[in-house]
Structure 1
Amino acid sequence: MTQNDDMRPLTAEGFAPVSGDSAEALKPSGFQPLDPGKRPERPPIWPKIILATVGLIVTTLLFFLLTARSLEVQVDAIGSATIDIDGISVPLGKRYLIRPGRYLITVQVPGYRDWQQETLVTDADSQQLLVTPAILPGRVTLLSEPAGASIAIAGQVIGTTPLQALNLEAGPTSLQITLPRYQAQQELLEVTGRGVEQTLSIALEPDWANITALAIPKDATVWIDDEPRANSGEVIEVLSGEHRLSLRAPGYIDATRDLKVVAGVNQTLESVTLVPAAGVLDLQSNPSAANVTIDGEFMGLTPLTVELAPGREHRVQVNKVGYSRKSFSLSLEKGATASRVTTLKPKLGNVAFELAPGNAELFINGRSRGRGNQALDLAAVEQRVEVKLEGYASQRLRVTPRQGLEQVVVVTLLTEAEARKAALTPEITSALGQTLVLIDPLAEPLNSFSMGASRREPGRRSNEVLHNVTLERAFYLATTETTNAQFRMFLESHDSGQIEGNSLNREQQPVVKISWQQAARFCNWLSIKEGLPPFYRDTQGIIDGYNPSSTGYRLPSEAEWSFAGRIEGESYRKFAWGDDFPPSQPVVNVADNTSALVTGRILNGYADGYIVSAPVGSFPKNHRGLFDMGGNVAEWVHDVYVIPSANAKSATDPMGALKGDNYTVRGASWALSRLAELRLTFRDYGASGRDDLGFRIARYAE
């Protein structure tokens, strides 16, 4: 086409004129005007809706693709996983296109428990989620040969074989298999899990060996651990381990040996020849305790069981002092037993009993033989004699009559009061070896005396009020103060300590640093140890009273301590050593020249050789045989501390109040040196222990 062609002018009809053939081909059509009653049709709207919807979808898809992130879900499991994401996501292999946000993701794999978790998808372009679902248990069948074995997992028994289709968690599982008479086994089973069925068969090993024991005679029986198992020569199944094997046959001595059995290792033991057993003689006599000799050899006293060599005759003799001898012969077969009862005939001796008072009753070996004087023929053996009469103390003695010899026994009964007095021994010894001497005020010239000191006496203190007391009850008083060794028998952990490097804790030093309560409890403990009634009343470890009628151990009363230390005949001692002050010889342990650095005060010019306490009994005893009454350590006494009244009536055997806050202390110590403190009337008080305060024990004689 040329430019001229393009520029042809349009005609009035709207067409460009053409020339030639073209003009002939194009003819104008007739014009038909529209019907004025009809309107033109409007194009349909649905294509526009479709177009808009497609546009929106494309726009949304483009927005999703532009804002989505890549999430890779890796499943650590065997098998095909099904992954479900609760939200819009586009799977692309193992990855998903997904917009940021929180999504509930569920993973399912055959053989595993469903995994489900809410997961946060962040703005990161590429993200990864590792899923490890839990493996389902495996189904395991356990068999054993033989059956009936006990199966335990982690020490917990789960049953006995056969065990079918057990649900066991996947992984290594340790099994403990036990069955009596079989060796215990341990198996490690790798459980596949995921519901996979597995079967484990276990062959148990026997835990015994075959043992054959041989003996002569052949009818011997074999005993294992004191249980009969078989006859000699027979095979015995014996469990592994150490056992006691015995071969036994009637009439023979058992042969015993230790047997060590190893499972599966059979043994045939060397033949054993049993030794014939001795015969057994059971011998009794009337009376008993008779001497027995067999074939000239002393065997013991009846009743007696003795073994005799079998197959030969034995000579048996039975004799007892005061009885005629009996003899007999006896032969026993091997393993046989025999019993013999021999009655001995007594030898008689004449005994005349002269009794005073004349109506006293005579008992021989517990049997009454009448009242008054008696002449009796008695067996020439020791006889138990007792003479009784109401109102009098019984007397017991032993008499041995002699055949052909007449004897006279004179018995004079004492009244109960006379007997009680006569029974008091001058001294007794405690279970701990402490010596206690008897002090009987009624047997002395002065038993009513004055305690305290005159106001005119140098060194006298205000608590030493003069007052009168009377002592009537006899009592025992320890010659020495209680030592550390003796107190530690009661309280092993006690430590008397030391002062300035000087020990107070040696075995024979007097115990110190104890309270009055501890001293009283020690007395109760010693009473119980000797079977005596406790003197003090103990309420849950607290001494809160006493029983004055008890003869158990106690602390001496203040009056008893004063009487024992001060009263000599009809006179009074001022100091433990006498009346001179200061003492010229080392007669008592007080604060001497060597004690200055410890006590700070001393008795000038006096040296006793001890800086602190001395071993008890180191200085001369007083007129009653008592040591350290005026020194070494001060001493707790029984009485609650009070200041006596000068106008009070004379008290008899005073013991003071049942309980109180403070208790009386008497006597000087290694830490004291002044005139007032060394006098025997010096009084102190307290409740707690001190390093110069101990005690000595006492008890009523009746």
Structure 2
Amino acid sequence: MKKFWFSLLLSTRIDNLVLPDKNGYFHMTLPNSRELVKVTGGEDIDLIRLIFLIFFYGYSIGDQQVKYIQLCISISVLLLSSAFSTTKAIELSLNQSPFSSGDTLVLTLNENWSGEADVYVAVTLPEDDRFFFLTPSGFVLDLTPYAQTVQARGLKEIFRLVLPELPGGEYTFYAMLILPNTLQFISEIVKVSLVFQAQSQVTPGEVFRDRLQDGSLGPSMVWIPAGTFRMGDIQGGGWDDERPVHEVSVSRFAMGRYEVTFAEYDKFAEATGREKPNERGWGRGNRPVIYISWHDAVAYAEWLSGQTGHSYRLPTEAEWEYAARAGTETKYWWGKTASHEYANYGQDGCCAGKAEGRDQWVYTAPVGSLEANPFGIYDTAGNVWEWVHDVYSYDSYSNSPSHDPSGPSTGSNRVFRGGGWSAPDCRAAYRNNGSPGYRYIALGFRLLRQP
């Protein structure tokens, strides 16, 4: 047997909302408010924590439509008696934990559930029991409970929020489904407690280099903002495995400004006793390393992670194409026509190198010899092919996740992207593949660093 009190108050604006105190009271401070009703509950209830939702009609922050207080509130909803049946229809998830700014909070529905509901997501901050409601555009960091309404009609994914910069600490996220225009819960309240890992604020486009254990500097990296883009054969005329064109969202990351060079890879080879790749007499140093297998690239990333204390890896196909396009939708980041003014690639219609215009190199060019794309990344088109993380599948675009896809879970070959000095096709959407042990005269890689 449990007893509690709640009060319903009327006003045009809520200044703050504090959840039940140690005596079980709800407190809302409103200008010129008056207490309309006080109710005592004395029946058996199955309730660990009560969430009080306020509804408005009108317009508020950012022209978002919200609702005025409804005076008729069902006591049975607030009591949540043990006879009230709920179902686990929703799930909150993050792509990693501990999480940091730029990571994405995703709300999904149980695939067996269908219906129409209002979706509410809230969070409590470290050392703070107040609820802050969330919207797809971010936290509503004031004391007005403000819920974003989403119509869920059996969709698998119904809520997505890229998390902003936050103080470090443990955050508790809540989600619930409620019948439209009522306060009737149709799903149990989902609770997820996660630790936010505070990091230094970074600016998209900011260039940096991590230090290795011997004090030397690692590869030059540039921060890439989180975003959404259309992936695949946007302009048409490509191959079937580049379709269907589909929308993809990626979280923030840092990308190598250049393809990994011989100088960088040779340092790793010397430190680990690996054989140095053949440079064909074209020169080592600042030229992109070639004859690299997928396994070689992964081993280098793992070594660099250990040297710097940061997480380096191969980019996924989606991350690679997002960075290569740099906000464009043309075949190449500079336009719709291939040009030796911007890329070191092969002759049209054959597989042989060609020097023309600013592309003075028949074979590999020193990294950064030609212009960077709008994200500040060099040689995403041409010079050498670049291994990415994903397993290759001819039809993987048909059922690829819309956020941070990492490719099929099974398969043999791995993908490489971008074209090389001998390739006639270096479109942003073009896909190639080979076995993880494959090495080639025009095949190298670049790395991604996680926040």
TM-score by length of 1: 0.33
Q: Distance in 2 between matches of 1:391 and 1:592?
A: 63
Q: Distance in 1 between matches of 2:331 and 2:315?
A: 20
The answer to whether the 8 A contact 2:282-2:364 is kept is yes
The answer to whether the 8 A contact 1:497-1:504 is kept is no
Query: Residues 450 and 671 from structure 1, CA distance in 2 versus in 1: closer, same or farther, beyond 3 angstroms?
Result: same
Q: Distance in 2 between matches of 1:478 and 1:651?
A: 24
Deviations for 1:53-77, whole angstroms, at most 9, x for unmatched residues? xxxxxxxxxxxxxxxxxxxxxxxxx
Secondary structure, aligned partner of 2:323: helix
Q: Distance in 2 between matches of 1:554 and 1:645?
A: 21
Secondary structure, aligned partner of 1:463: helix
Q: Distance in 1 between matches of 2:299 and 2:409?
A: 15
Q: Distance in 2 between matches of 1:660 and 1:531?
A: 31
In the other structure, the counterpart of 1:591 is: 346
In the other structure, the counterpart of 1:339 is: none
In the other structure, the counterpart of 1:562 is: 321
Q: Distance in 2 between matches of 1:488 and 1:655?
A: 29
1:668 pairs with 2:419: yes
In the other structure, the counterpart of 1:466 is: 244
Task: Give the letter for the 2:219 counterpart.
Answer: Q
Root mean square deviation, CA, Å: 3.1
In the other structure, the counterpart of 1:483 is: 261
In the other structure, the counterpart of 1:577 is: 334
Q: Distance in 2 between matches of 1:562 and 1:429?
A: 23
Which structure features the higher share of strand residues?
1
In the other structure, the counterpart of 1:525 is: 303
The answer to whether the 8 A contact 1:640-1:659 is kept is yes
Query: Residues 429 and 508 from structure 1, CA distance in 2 versus in 1: closer, same or farther, beyond 3 angstroms?
Result: same
Task: Give the letter for the 1:577 counterpart.
Answer: W
The answer to whether the 8 A contact 1:450-1:466 is kept is no
In the other structure, the counterpart of 2:232 is: 452
1:633 pairs with 2:412: no
Task: Give the letter for the 1:513 counterpart.
Answer: Y
1:698 pairs with 2:451: no
Q: Distance in 2 between matches of 1:497 and 1:659?
A: 31
Q: Distance in 2 between matches of 1:619 and 1:605?
A: 12
How far is the alpha carbon of 1:685 from its aligned partner? 0.2
How far is the alpha carbon of 1:416 from its aligned partner? 3.8
1:439 pairs with 2:263: no
Instruction: Report the count of equivalent residues.
Output: 253
Q: 2:291 aligns with which of 513, 518, 534?
A: 513
The answer to whether the 8 A contact 2:326-2:333 is kept is no
1:685 pairs with 2:433: yes
In the other structure, the counterpart of 2:105 is: none
Secondary structure, aligned partner of 2:370: coil
Task: Give the letter for the 1:690 counterpart.
Answer: Y
Deviations for 1:482-530, whole angstroms, at most 9, x for unmatched residues? 001110111135444355xxx2441111111011011001100111112
In the other structure, the counterpart of 1:352 is: none
Deviations for 1:339-364, whole angstroms, at most 9, x for unmatched residues? xxxxxxxxxxxxxxxxxxxxxxxxxx
Secondary structure, aligned partner of 1:519: helix
Secondary structure, aligned partner of 2:416: strand
The answer to whether the 8 A contact 1:453-1:466 is kept is yes
Secondary structure, aligned partner of 1:664: strand
Output aligned runs, 1:342-353, within 5 Å. none
How far is the alpha carbon of 1:650 from its aligned partner? 4.2
1:651 pairs with 2:402: yes
Q: 2:278 aligns with which of 497, 511, 529?
A: 497
Secondary structure, aligned partner of 1:476: strand
The answer to whether the 8 A contact 2:248-2:404 is kept is yes
Secondary structure, aligned partner of 1:564: helix
Deviations for 1:8-62, whole angstroms, at most 9, x for unmatched residues? xxxxxxxxxxxxxxxxxxxxxxxxxxxxxxxxxxxxxxxxxxxxxxxxxxxxxxx
Secondary structure, aligned partner of 1:489: helix
How far is the alpha carbon of 1:467 from its aligned partner? 4.0
How far is the alpha carbon of 1:590 from its aligned partner? 1.1
Q: Distance in 2 between matches of 1:424 and 1:601?
A: 41
How far is the alpha carbon of 1:565 from its aligned partner? 1.1
Task: Give the letter for the 1:623 counterpart.
Answer: P
Secondary structure, aligned partner of 1:562: helix
Secondary structure, aligned partner of 1:651: coil
Q: Distance in 2 between matches of 1:590 and 1:486?
A: 23
How far is the alpha carbon of 1:603 from its aligned partner? 6.3
Query: Residues 508 and 416 from structure 1, CA distance in 2 versus in 1: closer, same or farther, beyond 3 angstroms?
Result: same
The answer to whether the 8 A contact 1:496-1:504 is kept is no
Q: Distance in 2 between matches of 1:637 and 1:483?
A: 16
In the other structure, the counterpart of 2:362 is: 611
How far is the alpha carbon of 1:657 from its aligned partner? 4.0
Q: Distance in 2 between matches of 1:524 and 1:613?
A: 26
Segments of 5+ residues of structure 2 without an aligned counterpart are: 1-124, 129-164, 170-195
The answer to whether the 8 A contact 2:166-2:198 is kept is no
Output aligned runs, 1:283-298, within 5 Å. none
Task: Give the letter for the 1:586 counterpart.
Answer: E
Query: Residues 647 and 639 from structure 1, CA distance in 2 versus in 1: closer, same or farther, beyond 3 angstroms?
Result: closer
Task: Give the letter for the 1:457 counterpart.
Answer: G
Output aligned runs, 1:139-158, within 5 Å. none
The answer to whether the 8 A contact 1:587-1:608 is kept is yes
Query: Residues 588 and 684 from structure 1, CA distance in 2 versus in 1: closer, same or farther, beyond 3 angstroms?
Result: same
The answer to whether the 8 A contact 1:636-1:666 is kept is yes
Q: Distance in 1 between matches of 2:370 and 2:331?
A: 18
Deviations for 1:442-495, whole angstroms, at most 9, x for unmatched residues? xxxxx33321115x723x112111242433421110100000111011113544
TM-score by length of 2: 0.51
Instruction: Name which one, 1 or 2, has greater alpha-carbon Rg.
Output: 1
In the other structure, the counterpart of 1:404 is: none
Q: Distance in 1 between matches of 2:411 and 2:282?
A: 29
Secondary structure, aligned partner of 1:678: coil
How far is the alpha carbon of 1:573 from its aligned partner? 3.1
Deviations for 1:532-558, whole angstroms, at most 9, x for unmatched residues? 4xxxxxxxxxxxxxxxxxxx1000110
How far is the alpha carbon of 1:649 from its aligned partner? 6.0
The answer to whether the 8 A contact 2:287-2:365 is kept is yes
Secondary structure, aligned partner of 1:615: coil
Query: Residues 582 and 554 from structure 1, CA distance in 2 versus in 1: closer, same or farther, beyond 3 angstroms?
Result: closer
Task: Give the letter for the 1:696 counterpart.
Answer: R
How far is the alpha carbon of 1:699 from its aligned partner? 1.8
Secondary structure, aligned partner of 2:301: helix
Query: Residues 512 and 390 from structure 1, CA distance in 2 versus in 1: closer, same or farther, beyond 3 angstroms?
Result: same
Secondary structure, aligned partner of 2:388: strand
Q: Distance in 2 between matches of 1:561 and 1:525?
A: 21
How far is the alpha carbon of 1:615 from its aligned partner? 0.8
The answer to whether the 8 A contact 2:354-2:361 is kept is no
Q: Distance in 2 between matches of 1:646 and 1:419?
A: 33
The answer to whether the 8 A contact 1:565-1:573 is kept is no
Q: Distance in 1 between matches of 2:127 and 2:220?
A: 33
Task: Give the letter for the 1:686 counterpart.
Answer: G
Query: Residues 669 and 691 from structure 1, CA distance in 2 versus in 1: closer, same or farther, beyond 3 angstroms?
Result: same
Output aligned runs, 1:56-205, within 5 Å. none
Task: Give the letter for the 2:317 counterpart.
Answer: E
| Structure with higher RCO (Cα < 8 A, 6+ apart) | 2
Query: Residues 604 and 610 from structure 1, CA distance in 2 versus in 1: closer, same or farther, beyond 3 angstroms?
Result: closer
Q: Distance in 2 between matches of 1:615 and 1:604?
A: 14
Q: Distance in 2 between matches of 1:414 and 1:457?
A: 42
